[in-house]
Amino acid sequence: MSDRIPVDPPTSDTRRDRVERAVFAQLQTMRMADRLDAVVPAAARPRRAWLFAGMGALAAATVAVIIFAIRPPAETAVAEHTDTTPSRVVTPVGGTSQFTVGDAVIIATSDTNVEVKRGADGGTTLVVARGSVDCDVPPRGNRPPFHVIAGEVSVEVVGTRFTVTRTPAARVDVARGKVRVKAPGGTWLVAAGESWTPQVTALRTEDPAPAPTPMVEPMIEIDQTPAPAPAPAPVPAPVVAAPSPHVAYQAAVRLASTDPAKAAKAYRAIANGKGADAALALMDLASLVEKTDRDGALAACDEYLRRFAHGANVEDVTWLRIDLLRTAGRRDEARAAAVEYLRQFPNGTFAGDAARMRD
């Protein structure tokens, strides 16, 4: 038997099979030699020890050739990377969920719905539909950008730990570092220990009316003694202007976390007015009472959609109404409302959820 096994380059299945057959033949010969050792006297064994040792080494070398032959090419040996970043995170009431996006650690708190988008530049954008996300993000420097969007508010990370809440009005609280907040009213740099809410418009009071000029009676020239002038009219007290609807709305937002009952009354009073603040107050009222007065929350949603059909938060209120119908067990109404939502907002924030509810 030859000491060498011809091995062709492992470029085809036929050549690889030829190598395997040669190895198995060598292994069979070794097994036969072991059987002979059992019956051949020990004195005869040393003469053949070199032969079987060489055969064993040859078999081991051949096995190594097989391993090399069947190993896939280097460029295909690396496992394909799979991105495990979630595309959407939804937490139930009372629950939390922690996940990572690149070098950032995110905690989605109770009753939160957040979509995760990755850009072509490697940047990350979190779109908060509702709830709150706590973000711990290293300073960006040369790292890809990191943004959080809550309605019309955009938060750009400079390097910080911060929280963005949408209930549905946006709020930003910075624990460390700083963020850049962009909203319809402008751009703000918010530092550690500071919070941001929709900008409060300064209240400008009217100047009090000037005091009237005292009227002086004409002198009667009889005895050349002038008549005494009458006392000046009393100056009216200045009228203190009532807070503007925007200032009243900001006060109600702050009150919601400490006294929900008083906040609900304040929202209702503001909602009875007109303008953007009335619309925001009506939406916040529905969100505030959705857990304690579902019928009242539904009524507030219906009122908003009737009075402010072209308001800035129509999509949010529409989805809140669908969610209220679903949690109330009114599934047929919720399904019909989801179909209407998809008609109005085919690419909306909640389009995926609405499609699953429809189907």
- The tens digit of pLDDT for each residue in 63-105 reads 333 333 333 443 333 333 344 577 888 888 888 989 888 888 9
Co-location of 157 and 112 in the same domain = yes
- Is-cis flag, bond preceding 168, omega within 30? yes
Residue 82 domain flag:
no
In this prediction, residue 55 carries a pLDDT of 46
Between 151 and 215, the more confident residue is 151
> 199 vs 28, 153, 241, 278, CA distance in Å?
86, 11, 20, 16
Last residue of a domain, one of 77, 102, 121: 77
Spatial distance between the Cα atoms of 291 and 120, rounded to a whole number of angstroms: 40
Are 56 and 136 part of one and the same domain?
Answer: no
CA distances from residue 312 to 84, 108, 164, 285, 348 in whole angstroms, order as listed:
34, 25, 19, 16, 14
Say how many Å lie between the first and final Cα of the chain, rounded. 72
77-81, 116-120, 320-324, 338-342: range with lowest mean pLDDT = 77-81
Question: How many folded domains does the chain comprise?
Answer: 3
CB atoms under 10 Å from CB of 108, counted, come to 23
In this structure, is residue 221 part of a structural domain? no
Does 60 share its domain with 131? no
Final residue of a domain: which of 168, 196, 224? 196
Same domain, 179 and 97: yes
Alpha-carbon gap, residue 17 to 9, rounded angstroms:
12
Global pTM?
A: 0.41
Euclidean distance between CA atoms 263 and 277, whole angstroms: 14
Beta partners for residue 187, in sequence order: 182
Q: Residue for token digits 């200032």?
A: 247
| Burial classification of residue 155, based on how many CB atoms lie within 10 Å of its CB (0-12 exposed, 13-18 middle, 19 or more buried) | buried
- In Å, how far are 98, 177, 179, 268 from 158, measured between CA atoms? 22, 7, 5, 38
The answer to whether position 95 is within a domain reads yes
269 and 337 inside one domain: yes
Residues 99, 24, single domain; the answer is no
Neighbours of 205 (CB within 10 A): 9
**Boundaries of domain holding 172:** 88-196
Report the percent of the chain where pLDDT is more than 70.
66
Question: What single letter denotes the amino acid at residue 253?
Answer: V
Cα angle 75, 76, 77; round to 5: 100
Please indicate, yes or no, if residue 61 is contained in any of the structural domains.
yes
In percent, the amount of the chain with pLDDT more than 90 equals: 26
| Mean pLDDT for all residues in the chain | 74
Tokens describing residue 228: 């005494």
As to burial, measured by CB atoms within 10 angstroms (0-12 exposed, 13-18 middle, 19+ buried), residue 104 is middle
C-alpha 165/C-alpha 153 separation (Å) is: 11
- Band of the pLDDT at 61, cuts 50, 70, 90? very low
| Triad 199, 266, 109: Cα angle to 5° | 65
The reported pLDDT for the residue numbered 264 is: 93
Query: Which residue's entry shows tokens 């009393």?
Result: 234
Helical packing angle, 276-289 and 314-327, nearest 10°: 20
Q: Domain check: are 61 and 138 in the same one?
A: no
End of a domain among 176, 196, 216?
A: 196
Q: Does 259 share its domain with 353?
A: yes
Same domain, 353 and 252: yes
pLDDT per residue over 234-276, tens digit each?
777 665 566 788 888 888 889 888 999 999 999 999 999 988 8
Q: pLDDT of 148-189, one tens digit each? A: 998 888 888 876 778 888 877 788 888 888 888 888 777 888
| Burial class (CB within 10 angstroms; exposed 0-12, middle 13-18, buried 19+) of 320 | buried
Shared domain check, 263 and 305: yes
Measure the CA–CA gap between 359 and 357, rounded to whole angstroms: 6
Residue among 145, 139, 134, 68 nearest 106 (CA): 134
Residue 270 lies in a domain: yes
Q: What is the pLDDT of residue 32?
A: 54
- C-alpha–C-alpha distance, residues 248 and 255, integer Å: 11
Inside any domain, residue 322 = yes
108-133 pLDDT tens trace = 998 898 899 888 888 888 999 888 99
pLDDT of residue 268: 94
* Same domain membership, residue 66 and residue 97: no
**Residue 286 belongs to some domain of the structure:** yes
- We report the CATH number of the domain holding residue 147 as 2.60.120.1440
Strand partners, 166: 131, 170
Look-up: residue for tokens 């040996």?
Answer: 77
Q: Are 312 and 323 in contact (CB under 8 A)?
A: no
For residues 316 and 339, state if they share a domain.
Answer: yes
Tokens standing for residue 180: 């850049």
**Tell me, what DSSP letter sits at residue 148?**
E
Report the pLDDT value the prediction gives residue 332, as an integer from 0 to 100. 93
Question: What is the rounded distance in angstroms from the CA atom of residue 161 to the CA atom of residue 192?
Answer: 9
- Look at residue 239 and tell me if it is in a domain: no
